[in-house]
């Protein structure tokens, strides 16, 4: 068994060991707002509940390892002292993952991820309407754990109001864990589904995904594609060219001879099938054919 002095490792190597060994971890889908009122949304897996009286949640946006900068969530929490922590279930996991893309300041991750902004009752940041449980919080304290890349910043939040979707409650008004269907973070590209175990999601591309907001209206408003499906499509770097779409149609002509002329619903069903196998490139070409 290797025994390792953490000081002998690079921060990125140590980070990988920690995230793989301390897993699965719950996810705080944190909604904040900057001083100008611009919304921000980002997931954090350094997160848990620490007190019931008072009700305290703590999450930690770490300083970026690569350039020692801080995240917009931390900056906003320092300024406004408010945050909404939304829980993440399986139905929205791909949209949550897409929102973690490093979009520039001022870009609305709600729109990029195709999620709905829901006005809060007591704080200014928006809730995620699709989240089955949402905690409106005031920030009591921020504890900085260091000044170098990888250092955490404990945002200590007091819950001032919580919202629970009736659909995840049992007959006694308690949360049904199977209905809630939470997901958690592990190392690398791994997540864990509370009731089913581990699965993988490719990390958002190094460049910027186009976002759900950049998809054609007919795709965004699909009655077939789910939020997870849209999240996968929104993670592509660019829409395919017409030439590549034409080539794709020719390549699959033997299997799908009428693909260019079928109804939108049939195209969406076929695209959904491609997405079920992780073939996002073929799915978007079907949708745009």
pLDDT score, position 157: 98
Q: Which residue has the tokens 């754990």?
A: 145
Residue 153 predicted with pLDDT over 90: yes
Q: What is the CA radius of gyration of the chain?
A: 21
Per-residue pLDDT, averaged over 171-199, amounts to 90
Question: Where does the pLDDT of residue 251 fall: very low under 50, low under 70, confident under 90, or very high at 90 and above?
Answer: confident
Contact status, residue 235 vs residue 280, Cβ threshold 8 Å = yes
Residue 130 predicted with pLDDT over 80: yes
The residues that bridge with 29 in the sheet, in sequence order, are: 43, 86
219-237 confidence digits (pLDDT tens): 999 999 999 999 999 999 9
Q: Which domains does the chain have, with CATH numbers?
A: 6-196 (2.30.110.10), 212-288 (no CATH)
Give how far Cα 25 sits from Cα of 111, 192, 215, Å.
26, 9, 32
Among 22-31, 37-46, 99-108, which is the least confidently predicted range? 99-108
The dihedral through the CA atoms of 104, 109, 114, 118 has a sign that is: negative
23-41 confidence digits (pLDDT tens): 899 999 999 999 999 999 9
Q: How far apart are CA 80 and CA 92, in angstroms?
A: 27
Who has greater pLDDT, 47 or 103?
47
Q: Which pTM does this prediction carry?
A: 0.84
- Three-class SS state of 201: coil
What's phi and psi for 122, nearest 5 deg? -120, -15
C-beta neighbour count of 96 within 10 angstroms? 29
Residue-wise DSSP of 252-279: TTTT-TTTTTS-HHHHHHHHHHHHHTT-
Q: How far apart are CA 187 and CA 229, in angstroms?
A: 23
Greatest mean pLDDT among 135-139, 239-243, 279-283 lies in 135-139
Strand 28-33 and strand 82-86: the pairing is antiparallel
Residue 113 predicted with pLDDT over 90: yes
Question: Where does the pLDDT of residue 207 fall: very low under 50, low under 70, confident under 90, or very high at 90 and above?
Answer: low
Total count of residues recorded for the chain? 289
Residue 206 predicted with pLDDT over 70: no
What's phi and psi for 58, nearest 5 deg? -130, 130
pLDDT score, position 1: 77
- Three-class SS state of 121: coil
């Amino acid at each position: 068994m290797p025994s390792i002095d953490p000081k002998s490792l690079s921060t990125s190597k140590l980070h990988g060991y920690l995230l793989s060994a301390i897993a699965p971890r719950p996810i705080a889908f944190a909604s904040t707002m900057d001083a100008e009122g611009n919304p921000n949304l980002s997931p954090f897996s350094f997160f848990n509940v620490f007190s019931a009286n008072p009700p305290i949640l703590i999450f930690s946006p770490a300083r970026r390892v690569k350039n020692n900068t801080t995240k917009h969530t931390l900056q906003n929490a320092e300024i406004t002292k408010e945050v909404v922590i939304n829980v993440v279930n399986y139905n929205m996991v791909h949209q949550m993952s897409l929102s973690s893309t490093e979009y520039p300041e001022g870009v609305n991750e709600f729109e990029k991820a195709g999620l709905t902004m829901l006005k809060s009752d007591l704080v200014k940041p928006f809730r995620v309407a699709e989240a089955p449980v949402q905690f409106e919080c005031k920030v009591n304290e921020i504890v900085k754990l260091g000044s170098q890349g990888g250092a955490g910043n404990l945002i200590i939040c007091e819950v001032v109001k919580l919202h629970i979707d009736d659909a995840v409650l049992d007959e006694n008004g308690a949360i049904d864990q199977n209905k809630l269907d939470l997901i958690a973070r592990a190392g690398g590209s791994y997540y864990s589904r509370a009731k089913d175990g581990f699965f993988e999601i490719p990390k958002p591309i190094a460049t910027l995904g186009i976002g759900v907001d950049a998809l054609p209206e007919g795709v965004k408003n699909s009655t077939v594609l789910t939020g997870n499906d849209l999240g996968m499509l929104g993670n592509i770097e660019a829409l395919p060219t017409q030439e590549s779409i034409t080539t794709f149609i020719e390549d699959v002509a033997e299997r799908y001879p009428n693909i260019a002329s079928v109804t939108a619903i049939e195209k969406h069903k076929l695209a959904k099938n491609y997405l079920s196998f992780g073939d996002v490139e073929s799915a978007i070409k079907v949708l745009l054919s």
